[in-house]
Structure 1
Amino acid sequence: MKKQKVALGMSTVLLASVMLSACGSDKETGASATEGAKKVDSKPFPISIVINQVGEAPANDNDMEKAMEQYTNTDLKFQWIPLSAYDEKVNVMIASNELPELIKLNYNAVAIGALKDNLFWEIGPYLKDNKNLSAQNQIFYDNIAVDGKIYGVPLFRGLSRSVVHYRKDWFDAAGLKAPKSLDEWYNVIKAMTLGDPDKNGKNDTYGMMVEKKYNQNADSMLTRFSVMNGGPNKWQYENGTFTPEFMTEPFFEAMKFFKRLYDEKLINQDFAVVDISEIDKAYDTGHAAIRISGGNAQSWQDKIAKVVPTAVIDNAPLEGPKGIRVPGESGNNGFLAIPKSSVKTEADMKKVLSFMDKLMDPPMATLLVKGIEGRHWQDGGDVTLPLDRDADVKEVKPYRDNLPQRNEDYNIAKRMKQPDLFRKNQQIGSESEKHVVTNPTLTLSSAIFLEKGKELEQIMTDAETKFIMGKIDEAGWKSEIEKWKKAGGDKLITEYKEAYEKIKKK
């Protein structure tokens, strides 16, 4: 009973403080008490929201949701769909036109088709009327555009999350530093594989380990190494022509680098079939030395410390002969879109958009990033102190990951206290945004890509693996490129060029 009373008390204080924050602007601008009363007494606007669930779904009508409702004057109903079935379920909802007021979409063929079919509101022209949404870097919106139009609010993520993580204790003992060229990467990996860095007399370490999806998606290792050494990010646009990365010299050099590692058994020989979970386990238990990661080095430090208490993790920017060069990512984890079937008027669409804008006000930014004061964090002077990390994961993270917020430094007076390693990782990522290499085809339309994109990708990912494992030579590699061209690659190049020129004329 006592615990229930304490929780209720905290909730009451929180909701009261949120309501005061919501009304604060009225007091500052001299609005009358009557006008303030009208704002508070107006009927909450109902918004149903479909987003993905990772782990256990939060309880309905919890204190996080109540705080959001009070501040934004809404009546919220969240529907959580397991991540493993999310896209499939959303596809069914789109096909049946049974949609909520707000839904998270991923940038895939079905979603793009629905946007082109005018099933969702174009919100681009209205962003200027929302102070927080309009303040964001335009690249975040450009990266979810369809034919140059903006249909959603991104779930903002860093644009440059490629950071080098490494075992500093091992590197220091061997007199090594974070590598900045392919030759330096080779020397580091060789020393950490053959030099017995854990000093146990066994051949049980790798400098770097590779998993089966090493060459796919935003975290493709081949792309990261190619970009680091001057290559393009997935595609190159030059002299009016698009060229895929695998037809450029820096990418081929990156492939040859991985082939050398494989030939000399300096990377795990099962890389083509091993799952990322097994690779993570090897790093977390002290069997690998260096990797390029989109996560935070502090997570590795926390996990390995349980197995190897003396382990020291450090991080460094992804840097090559030309300085820091990082493949730019999409800058989002999907985006929130407003269906026309459930939000029928422009006035109601503006209310939903305003709701998302208000979530980025300081009180809501604090709530989404840190949670509830007294339960998830407390004031620690110059910083705020995290309290219950398990509660944060279960009660705050689901909303933090699925609603618009930049990061804990955005619009929030006091930063959350975090270890120095965590802060350093954040700083490197932030600084690397100045050196991002963008993917020029990220939002370009292509019929052949929608029809055969996966097939074309598979041709080249298989070819890359075959080359690294020595199953094909350079002539065989060029033959695979020709196969890709005939299967639709040439048409893809043409369609990207046409789409680019069409948008450029607007």
Structure 2
Amino acid sequence: MKKKQAAMTMSTVLLLSSVLAACGGDKQAQGDKQGAAGGNAPYPLTMVVNQVGEIPPKDNEIEKAIKAYTNTDLQIQWIPTSSYDEKVNVMIASNELPKLMKLNYTATIVGALKSDIFWEIGPYLKDYKNLSAQNQQFYDNISVNGKIYGVPLFRELGRAVIHYRKDWFDAAGVQVPKTLDDWYNVIKAMTQGDPDKNGKNDTYGFMLDKKYNQDAASTLTRLSVAQGGPNKWQVDASGSFVPEFMTTPFFDTMKLFRKLYEEKLINQDFAVVDATEIDKAYESGRTAIRISGGNAQSIQDKLVKVVPTAVVDAAAIEGPNGRRLPGESGNAGFLAIPKQSVKSVDELKQVLAFVDKLMDPQMATLLVKGVEGKHWEDKGDVTVPLDPAADAKEVKPYRDTLPQRGESYNIAKPMKQTDLFRKIGQITKDNEKYIVANPALTLDSATYSERGKELEQMISDAQTKFIMGKIDEAGWKAEVEKWKKAGGDKLAQEYKEAYEKSKKK
């Protein structure tokens, strides 16, 4: 035990020594050993982020390494996630702000950004090697009136992946579906063809939960985009905004699910069942195919405990004309710099230098994997995690609240993972080239701020009624008209005006 502790202590010393050495030698970021502070003394940097798990102890190994490498006296305040937005709003109202803080893209925060409380950082991004290297879509997705006020906590822009029972597909001689007819035929075969060979009618090709048509993970949006439809909104030739549910690909997707429901090829309780119950069905071997954010390996690990011969595989979402999927926000919030506490452009640049250095290879490795010898070890071509519990407790709080791109950016060696895990990672990485952006994602609309959720609920309920056969096509069109009169037309007009205004900047 003492030998292990000694080894970890030595590895920590070596890490700190290496990052200190790196700080002294990195002239681009530090310039004559000046660090983020612009001088030899550590730059005092206060930061507010949401709590992830337990609050890490002060001056732990991760934090010491960050401070040493960036030459900052970093002081982090962790606020519970459940009350985070509320506390941030109070801090903004009372003008008691740190130098760097995580914000979520909410109506209140957008209002604060418009009020000139935070620095616009867009014009400075080009001066930072790591920040400027990221896909512009990440920044566009948090812009306000075309201006960028923060650095995203990067997440994949296109996470959607198809997971399926390869053993069932192979036995039935079916392929991963592309057209809506393909989806119908595969789902029918996996529901009625007794793929588990137990002689019972107890499987589904596909299942939905009650949030099947909501937000970025909407199954209807994912499938209709693959068929050529828009992501939430479409901008027509005249610049007018048309909601996805008024386009042919979306309506055809709804008709597919209406047919599946009518023929009992999907679960009949989809309108009320929680996602956790659907998880259990997949993990117990009762469902064939799923679209989710890339957790096929987790499903496989749980599934083989119940069905040892089960094989889960992953595939990109494709339509009849190739790969196409809805783009997501690409962030878990963003880091912004208040003007009240960072008063000059020179100091703004010091804070941006700190954030940029967090994405250097040494820091990227630290944030993603932790401390070598304690959280991971080098095994030649790959690195191997040592203690998942320690990683979750000690590394994850920083990994989730500081900018990093996982193993896709500035990580020299990949972590040892299964082939399936690697495949999913490659699919989501490649997805970035095939995403369809939501043109209304960052546009202003007073109607949406006041009644957006109500309007979304109106149309979501109508979709469910149509799929369940409670209304026909005429009834659906009548519901769309109600939506338009209740504020939908006004919402679309406001988006058009905001879009045209943004194009003039």
Could you say whether these structures have the same fold, taking a TM-score greater than 0.5 normalized by the shorter chain as the test? Answer: yes
Asked if structure 2 preserves the Cα contact closer than 8 Å seen for 1:162 and 1:429, the reply is yes
Structure-1 separation of matches of 2:469 and 2:37: 70
**Amino acid of the structure 1 residue aligned with 2:228:** G
Taking the TM superposition and a 5 Å limit, the aligned residue runs for 1:341-490 are 341-490=340-489
SS in 2 for 1:131: coil
The superposition leaves residues 375-408 of structure 1 with CA deviations (integer Å, 9 ceiling, x where unpaired) of 1211111222222222222222222122111121
Alignment partner, residue 289 of structure 1: 288
Asked if structure 1 preserves the Cα contact closer than 8 Å seen for 2:36 and 2:353, the reply is no
Task: Give the CA deviation at 1:25.
Answer: 2.8
The superposition leaves residues 232-252 of structure 1 with CA deviations (integer Å, 9 ceiling, x where unpaired) of 000001112110001111111
Structure-2 separation of matches of 1:186 and 1:56: 46
Task: Give the CA deviation at 1:427.
Answer: 1.5
Structure 1: state its 5+ residue gaps: none
Structure-1 separation of matches of 2:83 and 2:168: 41
Structure-1 separation of matches of 2:59 and 2:219: 42
Task: Give the CA deviation at 1:346.
Answer: 2.4
Task: Give the CA deviation at 1:279.
Answer: 1.4
Task: Give the CA deviation at 1:417.
Answer: 2.1
Structure-1 separation of matches of 2:36 and 2:445: 50
Structure-1 separation of matches of 2:17 and 2:500: 54
**Amino acid of the structure 2 residue aligned with 1:213:** K
SS in 1 for 2:26: helix
Structure 2: state its 5+ residue gaps: none
The superposition leaves residues 64-115 of structure 1 with CA deviations (integer Å, 9 ceiling, x where unpaired) of 1111111001122223333333323323333333322222111111111110
SS in 1 for 2:211: coil
SS in 2 for 1:155: strand
Alignment partner, residue 243 of structure 1: 242
Answer with 394-403 or 451-460: which moved more. Answer: 394-403
Asked if structure 2 preserves the Cα contact closer than 8 Å seen for 1:409 and 1:415, the reply is no
Task: Give the CA deviation at 1:435.
Answer: 1.7
Percent sequence identity over matched residues?
69
The alignment status of 1:222 with 2:220, answered yes or no, reads yes
Task: Give the CA deviation at 1:258.
Answer: 1.1
Asked if structure 2 preserves the Cα contact closer than 8 Å seen for 1:369 and 1:408, the reply is yes
Answer with 275-284 or 50-59: which moved more. Answer: 50-59
- The 1:38–1:497 alpha-carbon spacing in structure 2 relative to 1, beyond 3 Å, is closer
Which 4+ runs in 1 deviate beyond 6 A? 36-41
Task: Give the CA deviation at 1:296.
Answer: 3.3
Task: Give the CA deviation at 1:343.
Answer: 2.2
The superposition leaves residues 249-296 of structure 1 with CA deviations (integer Å, 9 ceiling, x where unpaired) of 111111111111111121111111111122112212222111111123
Alignment partner, residue 151 of structure 1: 149
Asked if structure 2 preserves the Cα contact closer than 8 Å seen for 1:375 and 1:387, the reply is yes
The alignment status of 1:21 with 2:22, answered yes or no, reads yes
Alignment partner, residue 128 of structure 2: 130
- The 1:37–1:293 alpha-carbon spacing in structure 2 relative to 1, beyond 3 Å, is closer
Structure-2 separation of matches of 1:449 and 1:37: 44
**Amino acid of the structure 1 residue aligned with 2:249:** P
SS in 1 for 2:153: strand
**Amino acid of the structure 2 residue aligned with 1:483:** K
**Amino acid of the structure 2 residue aligned with 1:190:** K
SS in 1 for 2:334: strand
- The 1:80–1:289 alpha-carbon spacing in structure 2 relative to 1, beyond 3 Å, is farther
Taking the TM superposition and a 5 Å limit, the aligned residue runs for 1:128-277 are 128-239=126-237, 240-277=239-276
SS in 1 for 2:335: strand
The CA RMSD measured in Å over matched residues stands at 2.2
**Amino acid of the structure 2 residue aligned with 1:311:** A
The superposition leaves residues 465-496 of structure 1 with CA deviations (integer Å, 9 ceiling, x where unpaired) of 11111222111111111111111111111111
TM-score w.r.t. length of structure 1? 0.94
**Paired residues, number:** 503
Structure-2 separation of matches of 1:18 and 1:430: 29
Asked if structure 2 preserves the Cα contact closer than 8 Å seen for 1:194 and 1:203, the reply is yes
Alignment partner, residue 92 of structure 2: 94
Structure-2 separation of matches of 1:332 and 1:391: 25
Structure-1 separation of matches of 2:101 and 2:47: 6
- The 1:41–1:496 alpha-carbon spacing in structure 2 relative to 1, beyond 3 Å, is closer
Structure-1 separation of matches of 2:427 and 2:93: 43
Structure-2 separation of matches of 1:505 and 1:88: 35
**Amino acid of the structure 1 residue aligned with 2:124:** Y
Asked if structure 1 preserves the Cα contact closer than 8 Å seen for 2:318 and 2:324, the reply is yes
Alignment partner, residue 11 of structure 2: 10
Asked if structure 1 preserves the Cα contact closer than 8 Å seen for 2:358 and 2:404, the reply is yes
Structure-2 separation of matches of 1:110 and 1:267: 40
Alignment partner, residue 43 of structure 1: 41
Structure-2 separation of matches of 1:133 and 1:479: 48
- The 1:62–1:305 alpha-carbon spacing in structure 2 relative to 1, beyond 3 Å, is farther
Structure-2 separation of matches of 1:36 and 1:93: 32
Structure-2 separation of matches of 1:205 and 1:54: 37
**Amino acid of the structure 2 residue aligned with 1:364:** M
Structure-2 separation of matches of 1:235 and 1:407: 30
Q: For 2:107, which of 99, 106, 109 is the aligned residue?
A: 109
Answer with 430-439 or 489-498: which moved more. Answer: 430-439
Asked if structure 1 preserves the Cα contact closer than 8 Å seen for 2:103 and 2:336, the reply is yes
Structure-2 separation of matches of 1:322 and 1:85: 45
